[in-house]
Each structure stands twice: as C-alpha cells, then as structure tokens.
Amino acid sequence: MEAAALGAQGLQVSRMGLGCMGMSEFYGQTHESESLETLHRALELGITFFDTADIYGFDEHGMGANERLVGKGLKPHRSSVQIATKFGVLRSATQHLGLSGMPEYVKEACEACLRRLGTDYIDLYYCHRADPKVPIAETVGAMAELVKEGKVRYLGLSEVTPEQLAAAHAVHPISAVQTEYSLWSREPELDILNACRELGVGFVPYSPLGRGFLTGTITSRSELTADDWRMQNPRFTDAAFEQNLRIVHGIQQLAEAKSVTPAQLALAWVLAQGQDIVPIPGTKRVKYLEQNVAALSIKFTPDELARLNELAPVGATFGSRY
C-alpha cells in the first residue's frame, strides 16, 4: 500500500482509507463481528487510515457506537494506524439537534471521543460542520489547544468554504479537509479543492462511490431497507433514480471494457484526481473492501478520463446531496 501525505505538517496515511460510519448506522442492518473482521482485513491489506465520528451510531452506552467499535478493533494496532474522528454535530438517537463550535464544547467533545476510542490521542481531529454562530477561528483556536496538550496530533475541517478554511488555517495549520467528492459530486472542483491546494491542505473525499449508487448494485428504492438513510436522500427519490442511472450506465460500459467493476472504476477516477487526495470509501463487508483496494492498481488513458469527465460533469447529478 502506497503512503500519502495529508497537509504539510507531517501526517502520513495509507493512499486509501476506510470510512467506518456504515458499520454502526445509516445503511441498514449492522453486525459487530462482520465489522471487526473488515477492520482487521483492512489492516492486512495495508490500510492504516480509519475515519469515524462521535455521532456515528447509538448503542446501550449512548452516542459514539462507531468510535467504540473502531477503538476496539484497532486497539492492538494503535501505534501503526491513524484514526480520524469528528465533533460539532449535535444529535439524539432520533433527531438532529444542531451544531456547536463553542470552545468549551470542543474540549468536552474531545475528551468523550478519547474515552470511546480507548486512546490517549487522536491523529486527525475534524470539526464536522462549522457552527454559524461561532467564528471558525474561535473553534480552531480551541482545537489548537488540544494539539498543544498532546490530545490531538493534526487538525481537519469537514464541509467548509474556502473562506472558512483560510480563516482556520491562519489560526493553526489545517492538515485535511473532508467533503463529498465523486463522479456524481464534483462541486469541490469549483472552489474548495483549489483552495486546499493553494494552502497545502490534504483533501479527503467521503462517499467516493456516491453512497453506493455508482457501484451499479442499486437500481431502485425498493432495494433499500426502511431504516436506510438513503431513503430520505434527494438523490435516491424515484425521479432521481431514473435521471442518475444514466451516469451509472456509462460507468458500467467503461468498466466492462476495462474488466473491472463499476465501483472500482469510480473509485479509481477519484484517485486519479491527484496524489493529495485520499478517499475513504466506506464498507462493512470484506468483499467490497477487497474490491475497493484493488482499484489502486487501475490506470486510465487520457481518452478514458475524458470520457468519464464528459459523462458526469459538475452539476450533472439530479438532486441535492442532502
């Protein structure tokens, strides 16, 4: 597994990470044993970069089920992996409660993350969403204190504007920005991706497979369970399905010509956008994990890249992301 640098502060991660959210919530039924097996297989395949958040999943202990799972699975390997987690979104088991970037909350949230992960430091600590009521400089100032205390090693931001990134980076170097980026979510190319590159900030795409849609394995809403978060997503409505399947059909045709899966093709496209880009495709199954890692070996001709860019230009996807 090739290594990649996120930012200019020294954070080194595997060229591909693993998004762990779906192991605990959002995409149908979960099984801890299966998820732990997937975490361990990821380590065998050379993945060292694991992504979670405090709001991913609830269990008998309350919020943070995914952090507890990740901490449990990676504990024997803690010194050789990089764990990224996030704070800032407030929720209960059933509803969104708002955002908080208050300095005192930043520190409270970090202590809770450390307890759930069972570790004494977080490799990459993200502000999950910027709180509009709090200047981002104040939030990042509190995050910077955590770095000084040795509880956090590197700082990140998720879903921010170029202006917010610049304001944050002026307070403390930001190592990574995380946002959705794929063949059906190319909006980062309009602003934040260039802003990251100007400042030397790494870029971490989540949902690089379009929340599973670009794999070609989902052809109708009827295939999703009632508790699947995608049932409420605008891009998964009946009308959106028909519009967006044309992108998938194009991906399928090119994937067949290259003897790879549509998922591998879509993931390889993200990887081809730059060495400063480290995608974190999420899965809870070993089979899909292994297929995703195999995408690292796929190369494109200029003509193939041109065809993919023409197939799914910025704004081509029907429906908003949230």
Query: Which are the catalytic amino acids?
Result: 56
d(CA 81, CA 279): 16
CB contact at 8 A, 106 and 125: no
Contact 200, 278 (CB under 8 A): no
Q: Which two tokens stand for residue 236?
A: 């998964």
Residue at token pair 């497979």: 209
- Reported as type and span, the H/E element at residue 83 is strand 82-87
Residue reference for tokens 């570790």 = 119
Residues in Cβ contact with 70 at an 8 Å cutoff, skipping those fewer than 6 apart: 20, 39, 50, 52, 83, 117
Length of the chain: 322
Secondary structure of 173-205 as H, E, C letters: CCCEEEEECECCECHHHHCHHHHHHHHCCEEEE
Q: How far apart are CA 16 and CA 1, in angstroms?
A: 8
Question: In sequence order, what DSSP letters do the residues of 14-71 get, joined into one string?
Answer: ESS-EE-GGGTSSSS---HHHHHHHHHHHHHTT--EEE--TTS-EETTEE-HHHHHHH
User: How far, CA to CA in Å, does 303 sit from each of 34, 272, 307, 309, 313?
Assistant: 40, 13, 6, 10, 15
Q: Contact 180/228 with Cβ under 8 angstroms?
A: no
Neighbours of 104 (CB within 10 A): 9
